[in-house]
Amino acid sequence: MNDEEKHKYRSAGWFGKRDKDGFVHRSWMRGWPTDVFDGRPVIGICNTWSELTPCNAHFRDLANVVKRGVWEAGGFPLEFPVTSTGETNMRPTAMLFRNLVSMDVEESIRANPIDGVVLMCGCDKTTPALVMGAASCDVPAIVVSGGPMLNGKFCGQDIGSGTAVWRFSEEVKAGVMSLERFMDAETSMSRSTGTCMVMGTASTMASIVEALGLTLPQSAAIPAVDSRRSVLAHLAGRRIVEMVRDDQRPSRILTREAFENAIRVSGAVGGSTNGVIHLLAIAGRVGINVTLDDWDRLGRDVPTLLDLMPSGRYLMEDFYYAGGLPAVIRAMGEHGLIHRDAVTANGRTIWENCQDAPNWNAEVIRPFDRPLIEQGGIAVLRGNLAPDGAVLKPSAASPRLMRHVGRAIVFESIEHYYERIADPDLDADENCVLVLKNCGPRGYPGMPEVGNLGLPPKVLQRGVTDMVRISDARMSGTAYGTVVLHVCPEATVGGTLALVRDGDLIELDVGARRLNLEVSEEELQRRRAAWRPPEPSMRGGYQELYLQHVQQANTGADFDFLRGCRGHAVPRESH
Ligand code: FES
C-alpha cells in the first residue's frame, strides 16, 4: 500500500494519525494486528440481527460470511448493530420506527471510521430504513438481503406467509375452517429462517433494491437457507471493498432512471403498496423528485409477469428456481420498460447484468403475451376524498368492485372497528364501503397495516369475500382485496376522510382514478367547522418527535428534517 492510498479513505481520519488521537482510536479497538490500520478500507457491516426480528435471525452467520469476502478483498470489516424492526412483534407498528432506524444507521456511519457499508436487510422496514440512512450520508453501500423463507407446506399444499393467515382466519369466522386446523397451519407456514415468501413488503423491497442497483444480481429471491445466499453475501463482501476504492456512492446509483426502473419492476412483480411509501422516502433522501403520479404513470403499461401470492399462485422459492429478478428485468428490457444504462453495485449496468438471464419456468415468470395481469402497477386515486392521493393495488382487488358506489360504514378508529364489526345489528351488506379513520402517519400513530379490514361476519357468512375498504392506513403486502390505502391528507390532520359519516355515498372508479365522497361542498364545510382533531394517545419521547415531524404518505412519511441531501460523510476531529 502506497502513501497515497494510506490516507485516501475517510477512516484515515481516525486510524491513520500518528498522535494521541490515533493512539486512542487504535488502542481501544483491541486484539487486531496493527496492519489492519494500515489504510485499508474499513467496511461497516450494518446488522439488523435480533431474536425479536425472526426474519433476520440468521444475520449473525450471514454477516460472518460477508466478512470473509471483505478480508479477501483487502478490507477491514467491523460489524455494528442498529435497531431492528420485527414486523410481527413491534407495537403499535414497526412503521413508527422506520425513520428512527434510518437515523440510527446514518449517525452510526457518520460518527464512526467507516468507508463503506454492507446493509444487512430483511424484514419489511429494515430494508428501507437502512437504505435511507446510508443514502443520507452517501458512503459506498451495498445491500445484502436475507432472502425469503422456504415455501410453506400445509395439507399437501403450498401456503404463503401472511396470505394464508388472512384467508384461514376469514374461513374460521365464516365457519368453514375449525380452530384446531387453523392452529395446525401455524407451524407449517414458517419452515425456515428468512422473510415472508410471498410478494409481500419484504420481497417487494428486496426486489426494489435489486432493481435500483443497490445489490448484486439475484439478491431478492435466493432462499435464506440456500447455499447460494451465502455465496452472494461472500461476493458482496468482496465487492464493497472495490466500491470504496472506486468511490461508488449511493448518489451515483440512485438516479432518476434507477427509481423509474424500480417502479416498473414493482409493477412487474406485483409489488406491495408499501413499496410506494418506502421508495418515495428513499428518493427524498437523495433529492430525486419521485411522486405518486410517477407510480401511476410508469406502472400503467407494466403487466404483472410474476404469478406469485398474494396476487397469483407461486412463492419466492419458485421465483428463484424460475430465474429470479434478472429474468423479469430481461423481459421488461426487451419490451422497452427498463433504462438499460442504469449502473448497479457490481459496476455493470442493469442490462449487462440481466440481458442473458434465462427464464426456466414460464408459469412462474409469465411471458408478456400471457401475463398474470395486463396492467399491474399501483393505481393512484384522487378526488375530494383524497385530494393529495390514495393508492390501490388493482392486481389484488376484485374486478367487479373496480367501479363502485356504496354506502359508507364508518369506524372512527381501529378500536371502534373492533367494537362494532361483529355487531349482529350492524347495517351492512356486500355493497357497503368500510371506512377507517385515524390510522395514517400521525393517527394511531405510525400508519399501521390495518387497511385490509376483515369483513363483517354477517356478510362473510353469506359467502362474500371482498368489499371496498378505504382508509389512511397501510396494508400488509401479504394481503389482498379492493382496498384503498394511504388516503391523503389523513383524517387526523383534518383531511376529508375525517368528515365521512355513516350512510354517505362514496364513488370508487379505478379506471378513471377517482375517489369521491358524494356530499355537497356546503355540507362538508359545516362538518369541517365542527371537526376537532383527536387527542394524541401518547406524549413525550420519540413519539412526540415523530408527531411533530412526520410528513404525509404521499411523500413517503419521512421526517421533514431528514429529506434532501445532507452531504457525503466526512471525518470530524475528535474532542
Ligand atoms: Fe418479517 Fe414478513 S414479517 S418479512
- The average pLDDT across 152-172 equals 88
Q: Which of 50, 52, 56, 87 to mutate to test the pocket of ligand 1 (most atoms within 8 A of CB)?
A: 87
Could you give the percent of the chain with pLDDT greater than 90?
Answer: 86
Say yes or no to pLDDT of 273 above 90. yes
- In the predicted model, what is the mean pLDDT of the chain? 94
Where does the pLDDT of residue 60 fall: very low under 50, low under 70, confident under 90, or very high at 90 and above? very high
Distances (CA, A) of 384 to 388, 515, 520, 554: 9, 7, 10, 16
Residues 130, 46 contacting (CB under 8 angstroms):
yes
Cα 124 to middle of ligand 1, angstroms: 6
Say yes or no to pLDDT of 127 above 60. yes
Tell how far CA 197 is from the center of its chain. 14
Say yes or no to pLDDT of 4 above 70. no
- The average pLDDT across 185-189 equals 89
- Measured torsion, CA atoms of residues 447, 91, 269, 310, in degrees rounded to the nearest 10: -100
Say yes or no to pLDDT of 245 above 60. yes
C-alpha cell at 29: 479497538
Q: Which one, of 313, 285, 356, 286, lies nearest residue 199 by Cα?
A: 313
Residues 480, 309 contacting (CB under 8 angstroms):
no
How crowded is the C-beta side of 454, counted as CA atoms within 13 Å?
22
Question: What is the rounded CA–CA span in Å between residue 320 and residue 360?
Answer: 10
Quote the pLDDT of residue 571: 67
Residues 96, 21 contacting (CB under 8 angstroms):
no
Which of 537 and 378 is assigned the larger pLDDT?
378
Residues having CB closer than 6 A to ligand 1 are 55, 87-88, 123-124, 161, 195-196, 200, 202
Say yes or no to pLDDT of 6 above 80. no
Question: What is the rounded CA–CA span in Å between residue 340 and residue 354?
Answer: 9
Domains delineated in the chain: 23-151+191-354 (3.40.50.2300), 153-188 (no CATH), 379-534 (3.50.30.80)
Say yes or no to pLDDT of 216 above 70. yes
Cα 53 to middle of ligand 1, angstroms: 8
Give pLDDT tens digits for 501-541.
999 999 999 999 999 999 999 999 999 999 999 988 777 89
* Number of residues in the chain: 575
Cα four-point dihedral sign 310, 314, 315, 316: negative
What is the position in ligand 1's atom list of the atom closest to the CA of 203? 4
What is the position in ligand 1's atom list of the atom closest to the CA of 56? 1
Quote the pLDDT of residue 27: 93
What is the position in ligand 1's atom list of the atom closest to the CA of 86? 1
For ligand 1, atom 1, the nearest C-alpha belongs to 123
Where are any strands of DSSP class E within 403-504? 403-411, 433-436, 468-471, 483-484
Quote the pLDDT of residue 573: 62
- What end-to-end distance do the CA atoms of the chain give, in Å? 29
What is the position in ligand 1's atom list of the atom closest to the CA of 162? 2
What is the phi/psi pair of residue 288, to 5°? -100, 125
Q: Which of 98, 121, 196, 198 to mutate to test the pocket of ligand 1 (most atoms within 8 A of CB)?
A: 196
Quote the pLDDT of residue 174: 81
Q: Which residue has the cell 440512512?
A: 133
Number of H helices, E strands in the chain: 21, 14
- The average pLDDT across 98-108 equals 98
Say yes or no to pLDDT of 147 above 80. yes
Say yes or no to pLDDT of 391 above 80. yes
Residues 412, 421 contacting (CB under 8 angstroms):
no
Say yes or no to pLDDT of 168 above 60. yes
Q: Which of 55, 126, 315 to mutate to test the pocket of ligand 1 (most atoms within 8 A of CB)?
A: 55
Tell how far CA 570 is from the center of its chain. 29
Return all residues near 136 (Cβ < 8 A) that are at least 6 apart.
Answer: 102, 106, 285, 562, 565, 566
Q: Which one, of 478, 476, 477, 480, lies nearest residue 466 by Cα?
A: 480
Where are any strands of DSSP class E within 259-388? 379-381
Where does the pLDDT of residue 196 fall: very low under 50, low under 70, confident under 90, or very high at 90 and above? very high
Q: Which one, of 438, 424, 414, lies nearest residue 531 by Cα?
A: 438
Cα 566 to middle of ligand 1, angstroms: 31
Where are any strands of DSSP class E within 367-492? 379-381, 390-392, 403-411, 433-436, 468-471, 483-484
Cα 318 to middle of ligand 1, angstroms: 18
Cα four-point dihedral sign 57, 60, 65, 67: positive
Question: What is the rounded CA–CA span in Å between residue 442 and residue 543?
Answer: 10
Distances (CA, A) of 70 to 77, 109, 111, 113, 239: 6, 17, 21, 16, 8
Residues 82, 105 contacting (CB under 8 angstroms):
yes
Say yes or no to pLDDT of 163 above 90. no
Where does the pLDDT of residue 395 fall: very low under 50, low under 70, confident under 90, or very high at 90 and above? confident
